Structure 1
Amino acid sequence: MSAATTSVAVKRKGLSPLVKRLIWIGVLVLLVIAMALSTKVVPKDSELAQGTQQFNAAEYGATQFPKIQDYIAKNAVDASTLATAVKADAAAAAKQYGKSADGATYIIPVTFTGVVGTIPASGYTPITVTGLPDDIKVGLQLGPAVNGTDLRDVTGTVTLNDFENQIQYQDAGAAINEELKKNLAKMDASGLEGQTVKVEGAFTLINPQQWNVTPSQITVEK
């Protein structure tokens, strides 16, 4: 008679409730330490605490417009000198006297003296410029609307990369134009017809025979 083999199942002894509790406490302690190490204390008056500041177009325009006026005053080419250069080689003249943010269009700072023609309700006012040949016509933005971004772009240093998006970039140009409109309103530019004025401004050289100038400064000659 063969002997019966008896197997006995041995039950493993699990962790005691006390040990489990201690493990959980240890895990929580580690989590608290990790959170503390990853937390950065920021002073309440810092830029991070205040968050990203919203672009203030009006403030930008008020700050930049005087700088643009100064830049044009220092870098403007006399219109007669520019006309000679444009007649010889318009593309070379644009590169010599202008700045470009895109490498394709050039904005030129220019200065001249001339007699203001009939001011239209909208668009550019014709001005007869001293020293220019008859085949070059000059138009001047005198408001009430001021269009384009020649003043924003005349230095060649302001680009889309300076702003968060295209909307801010456009708002910056519009805000600078708003500052010009304020200046034109103060001097009552609508009443300049027939008067001799000295102009400092900027324009994009597209048509060598038509210069549409956005002024940065207008002085009435006495």
Structure 2
Amino acid sequence: MSHSTAPSTSAPKAPAPSRRGMLMGAAAIVVLAGAIALDTTVVPIGSEADVRVQAFSPDSYGQEQFPRIQAFVKEKAVDAATLAPAVLADKDAAAEQYGVASSTGAIMFVTLTGVAGEARSGVYPLTVDGLPEDITVRVQTGPAINGTDLRDAPGDIAFGDFKNQIEYQDAGSGINRAMKAAVLDGIDTASLTGKSVTVTGAFRLINPKNWMITPVEVAVQ
């Protein structure tokens, strides 16, 4: 007795990709790779571009900026005997003539010689001949140098140059530290009382009778 068996059937094969489809796919990959290459910039290590993409360094910024800020302040500095009557007579006119505008009081530039009194937290009062007695002159010598007077002195360091307010504030601190290293670290600032000190620096004109000077040059006699 014969047995009939049903013909076996195998699973259908997937159609082979056409040569045209393969060529189109390869072409798309080439185009994509080209687009990626065009959009990619090679940045050599240590180049100027490499420095820009690194995290902001307040100390590097301060060391870069302080020399030109120092030169600017020294060039603009007015003798205290000239500046004092001007700010007492007309604060705004004096700021326009001798200072650089700032959002929180003009930055003024002064040079003077005075006798240092007793320091308080690194800030020395100075007795300056020829100045009205109602003007208080002080100079800060550290260890901490406060304020953003040096940052704001040239008038061209703007908030928009930085990523955020923290970087903008840190820039001022970096400049202050660079000043301290260049100007004050070579001076025995702990023992200036009674000595004659010549100071060139900047202060913010808020109260015409109260000058808190951040120095850019100090000489002790």
**What range is the shorter-chain TM-score in?**
0.7 to 0.9
Number of paired residues?
Answer: 203
| Corresponding position: 1:85 with 2:82 | no
TM-score for both structures, normalised by structure 1: 0.82
| Contact 1:42 1:49 survives alignment (8 Å) | no
Distance in 1 (CA, whole Å) between partners of 2:205 and 2:19 is 79
Q: Is the 8 A contact 1:43 1:49 kept in 2?
A: no
CA contact (8 A) 1:117 1:125 kept: yes
Q: Contact 1:98 / 1:107 at 8 angstroms: preserved in 2?
A: yes
| Structure-1 residue corresponding to 2:117 | 117
Q: Tell me if 1:35 matches 2:32.
A: yes
Instruction: Report the CA distance between 1:210 and its aligned residue.
Output: 0.8
SS at match of 2:53: coil
Distance 2:63 2:217 in 1: 15
Structure 2 Cα separation of the partners of residues 56 and 194 of structure 1: 38
Contact 1:44 1:50 in 2 (8 A): no
Q: SS where residue 186 of structure 1 aligns? A: coil
The Cα shift of 1:57 comes to 1.5
Match of residue 61 from structure 2:
60
Q: Which moved more, 1:110-119 or 1:52-61?
A: 52-61
Which digits, 9 at most, give the CA deviation of each residue in 1:75-100, with x for residues without a partner? 10111111121122111111221112
CA distance in 2, matches of 1:186, 1:170: 26
What does residue 108 of structure 1 align with? 108
Q: State the partner residue of 1:184.
A: 184
2:184 is matched by which residue type in structure 1?
Answer: L
Find the aligned partners of 1:84 and 1:49 in 2 and give their Cα distance: 51
Note the residue ranges of structure 2 that are not aligned, 5 or more in a row.
1-13
Aligned-residue sequence identity (percent) comes to 44
Q: Does 1:144 align with 2:143?
A: yes
Q: In structure 1, how many angstroms separate the alpha carbons of the residues matched to 2:138 and 2:51?
A: 46
Tell me if the contact between 1:125 and 1:141 (Cα under 8 Å) persists in the aligned partners.
yes
**AA at the equivalent of 2:211:** W
Q: d(CA) in 2 for partners of 1:198 and 1:158?
A: 28
Q: CA deviation at 1:50?
A: 8.1
Measure how far apart 1:72 and its partner are.
Answer: 1.1
4+ residue runs of structure 1 moved beyond 3 angstroms? 41-44, 46-51
Ranges in structure 1 where 5+ consecutive residues have no aligned partner = 1-15
Aligned to 1:73: 74
TM-score, length-normalised on structure 2? Answer: 0.82
CA gap 1:70/1:48 in 2 versus in 1, 3 angstroms = closer
